[in-house]
Amino acid sequence: MKIGTDGVLLGAWADIYNSKNVLDIGAGSGLISLMIAQRCNANVLGIEIDTHAATEATENVNQSPWNNRIQIINEDFVKWAANNNRISKFDHIISNPPFFKSGPSAPIMTRAIARHDSSLGYEQLLKLSSPLLNDDGRISIISPYDRKDDIIFYCDIINLHISRMTIVYSKTNGNPVRILWEICKKKRPLTQSNISIRDNNNEYSVEYINLTKDFYLKF
């Protein structure tokens, strides 16, 4: 689970410009942590359960221009969050979490952990993130489109509020495949939008290029 479209979308889409402290849950190879550091002056803490991935993320961070503002730790977020109530709050929490709720698990355990929510589901992610968030802070995540009702329900029972939602289409006039979510403690007006990754000619859409061009050499 290296670099994928979901992570690039989330890292480019999240509204982090006024953030000073950002938490990246499930940092993987460090993609989103590096994107956040490139986009703003925040200090970023990336937490990753897999030792090999955390090592790779640390290597990537150390070779970047932003290594003085990014820290990667090899921890289980569930245990870390339960034992860290004393830590300072975060302005923004961002995560590209596991999202395949059912179906066969990936044959390699690390890939299974990255893709299935048996280790960290959306409800648990939101519930554990809420106490770590500043009162005016935000949570940004990406989910499959078919988890829409689940996430709306989880936000309702945890007393969180959806402030921004972008539906992602793989192709113009195609079916929705993902949703980008911004979730807050305080209720704010809901902003909704759509984005298509590719146009009807199967070329990257103008809107996708405009959103992600700072991160793709080919754009």
Tell me the per-residue pLDDT of 87-129, one tens digit each, with 9 for 90 and over: 668 999 999 986 544 444 445 444 444 443 445 799 999 999 9
Per CATH, domain 5-212 is 3.40.50.150: yes
3-state SS string over 7-34?
HHHHHHHCCCCCCCEEEEECCCCCHHHH
- pLDDT tens readout for residues 14-35: 999 999 999 999 999 999 999 9
DSSP state of 132: G
Dist. CA 144–CA 148, nearest whole Å: 7
Q: What is the structure's pLDDT at 3? A: 83
- CA 190, chain centre distance (Å): 19
Give residue limits of the domains in the chain.
Answer: 5-212
- CB of 186 within 8 A of CB of 155? no
Q: What is the structure's pLDDT at 82? A: 83
Q: What is the structure's pLDDT at 112? A: 45
Predicted confidence band of residue 214 (pLDDT cuts 50, 70, 90): very high
Q: What is the structure's pLDDT at 84? A: 67
Global pTM?
0.88
Task: Identify the weakest region by mean pLDDT among 50-54, 181-185, 215-219.
Answer: 215-219
Dist. CA 185–CA 179, nearest whole Å: 19
Q: Tell which residue, 129, 173, 119, 190, has the closest CA to residue 154.
A: 129
| Beta carbons within 10 angstroms of residue 71's beta carbon | 15
Tell me the average pLDDT across 128-135. Answer: 94
3-state secondary structure of 88: coil
* Residues contacting residue 165 through CB under 8 Å, at least 6 positions apart: 179, 180, 181, 182, 190, 191, 192, 193
Q: Helix count (H) and strand count (E) of the chain? A: 8, 8
What distance, in Å, lies between the first and last C-alpha atoms of the chain?
23
- pLDDT tens readout for residues 136-164: 999 999 999 999 999 999 999 999 999 99
107, amino acid identity: P
Q: What is the structure's pLDDT at 98? A: 67
Asked whether the CA dihedral 130, 50, 82, 99 is positive or negative, the reply is positive
Tell me the average pLDDT across 62-78. Answer: 97
